[in-house]
Amino acid sequence: MSQAVTRTGWATRFGLIMAVAGNAIGLGNFLRFPGKAAPYGGAFMVPYFLALILLGIPLMWMEWTIGRHGGKFGHGSTPGMLHRMWHNPVAKYIGIFGVLLPAMVGVYYIYIESWALGYAWQTLTGAYWGKTSQAAMASVFSDYLGMGGGGPISFNARAYFFFLITFACNILIMSLSISKGIEFVAKYAMPALLVIGIVLAIRVLTLPPLEGRTVSEGLAQIWRVSDWSVLRHSDVWIAATGQIFFTLSVGLGMVHSYASFLNYEHDITLSGLTSCTANEFVEVILGGTIAIPAAVVFFGVVDTRAILDQGTFAIGFHALPVIFQRMPAGQVFGVMWFILLFLAGLTSSMAMFTPLLLFLEDELQLTRKRAAIGIALCVFVLMQPVVLFYHRGVLDELDYWMGDFCLVLFGALEAMIFAWIFGMKKGWAEMHLGADLQVPRVFYYVMKYITPVFAVALVVWSAQDSLWRRITMQAAAPENVPFLWLARAMMLAMAGFLIWGVWYAWRTHPKFFEEAAAKRRS
């Protein structure tokens, strides 16, 4: 048996919980969740909470366990972690997903995050004040992204400036040690996010009726069940379970990297549950209270649903800026809203390149400085098509493959490896080492049977729902097809590098042969 490797990382348990909660709490809590829930009403919350209990929380515990177990052997990323759990040549290549997905999500997520910072500045300076219709604000948003002129590229110098600031912040945090970078930011950003979110939620709940429309009518769009029959359709189940993957950031590889810095004296059961609880409070209570109820009061139910049909970003960047112009002290609340989105994005994105950084450090033996510089240069180049060809669907193509389908696929694969190959008995014992919370025994069987089957079923549902259409680009405009191939080339290039990296590391790094050498000596 190889000797355990000491990894220094988290300075405090509070910092760890804030970091993992921040990793989960992101833009999707305030933009994606309301957009997914409102069309189905309260019926959406049935599969949502079922997926949380049977899929989300068990996967979170699995990932904490996989990460801590792999960290014992000096692995900070999933190729090495899965190799230690399943001594099959394919295991380490499956683990590539846990490095590829967060890195490629970061390539476009940081750009979206920068919009919030830019809009916070525009709100503070009143740059769009006077644009008092949703259509006018849609035009402002299009101009901000550089799409208003109909040119071959989508570029706006102001938006690019805020993108550079956001990119630099993320790279700086990533390049520092785990305690001086991610933990330090999370300890301050997360409490600030919670305070701002609570203030905004209270402000929305105290909005007076407008032309007969009330806040309670807005809350009913998410909580009132008007039609139970929607549960017969697979799309509501796919939407709800997919949102759980997205909101908890399971299947991305970042939780594994965070947990790799823990040892067997550190609790992971209570800490994992606490981070899940914090995320659900922000998403369901705060995220479900701010955007949709405010939009219903000012626009009405029909217009709010029409806004949601325009896409994920319409409610936050088209509708709410109009609302802020119509309410007392709206400029203050508008700045708070976009700062909230920026902090939510930052606490997620600052960890997205950490698995790649640790892969380069642990497996390819690069120094942190060289690894950080290499990541910064490579990622910056990959980000340019996202910025310049946003209007051609590059971002959406990356999001479907990296932030949707492959995310669920990797979650299903790791659940099967943990429960059926590593073994639930061994995994359960590993999970409870140093535990402050004894997980109810029923979850032993949930994690062994229900979670893997549920995850595989979700992969199959997602594939049937849209996979073939995506592969063949059936819905793509002909002029966008070359740019969608560019997005795929970016993903394949990163995947190819990681495949080579795994192949090279497993043939050159001595720690992978420690056990074999020990057997030969004996």
CATH number for 324: 1.20.1740.10
pLDDT < 50 regions, the chain: 1-6, 516-522
Please give the pLDDT value at position 90: 95
For the chain, how are helix, strand and coil distributed in percent, rounded to 5? 80, 0, 20
* Spatial contact of 503 and 93, defined as CB atoms under 8 Å apart: no
Q: Measuring CA to CA, how many Å separate 108 from each of 27, 99, 126, 398? A: 13, 15, 27, 8
Instruction: Give the up-direction half-sphere exposure of residue 181: CA atoms within 13 A in the CB hemisphere.
Output: 18
**What is residue 519's predicted lDDT score, i.e. its pLDDT?**
45
Q: Quick check: is 517 in a domain?
A: yes
What is the distance between the alpha carbons of residues 375 and 6, in angstroms, rounded to a whole number? 25
Give domain status of residue 8, yes or no: no
Give the domain extent around 22: 13-521
Is there a contact between 28 and 246 (Cβ–Cβ < 8 Å)?
yes
Q: Is residue 334 part of a domain?
A: yes
Which value, to the nearest 10 degrees, does the dihedral of the CA atoms of residues 386, 391, 290, 401 take? Answer: -50
Q: 213 has which bridge partners? A: 210
Instruction: Give Rg (Cα) of the chain.
Output: 23
With beta carbons less than 8 A apart as the criterion, state whether 115 and 317 touch.
yes
Does a structural domain hold residue 356?
A: yes
Q: Is residue 351 part of a domain?
A: yes
pTM of the model: 0.93
* Domain annotation covers residue 432: yes
Amino acid symbol at 171: I
CA distance 257 to 106: 15
In a domain? residue 338: yes
Place of tokens 């989508």: 154
DSSP letter at 309? T
Handedness of CA 104, 108, 113, 114 (dihedral sign): positive
**Each residue of 394-409: b (16+ CB within 10 Å) or e?**
bbbbbbbbbbbbbbbb
- Reduced to 3 states (helix: H, G, I; strand: E, B; else coil), residue 283 is helix
Task: Report the pLDDT value the prediction gives residue 515, as an integer from 0 to 100.
Answer: 53
Packing angle, helices 13-24 and 184-205, rounded to 10: 60
Residues 6+ apart with CB under 8 A from 401: 470, 488, 491
Which residues lie closer than 8 Å to 31 by C-beta, 6 or more apart? 291, 312, 313, 315, 316, 341
Residue 242 Cα distances to 213, 248, 506, angstroms: 32, 10, 34
DSSP string, 170-234: HHHHHHS-TIIIIIHHHHHHHHHHHHHHHHHHHHHHTPPPBTTB-HHHHHHHHH--S-GGGGGSH
pLDDT of residue 316: 93
What tokens does 310 get?
A: 């325009």
Q: How many separate domains does the chain show?
A: 1
Please, is 331 exposed, middle or buried when counting C-beta atoms within 10 Å of its C-beta (0-12, 13-18, 19+)? middle
- Classify 83 as helix, strand or coil: helix
Report the distance separating Cα 278 and Cα 403, nearest Å. 22
Other C-beta atoms within 10 Å of 492: how many?
10
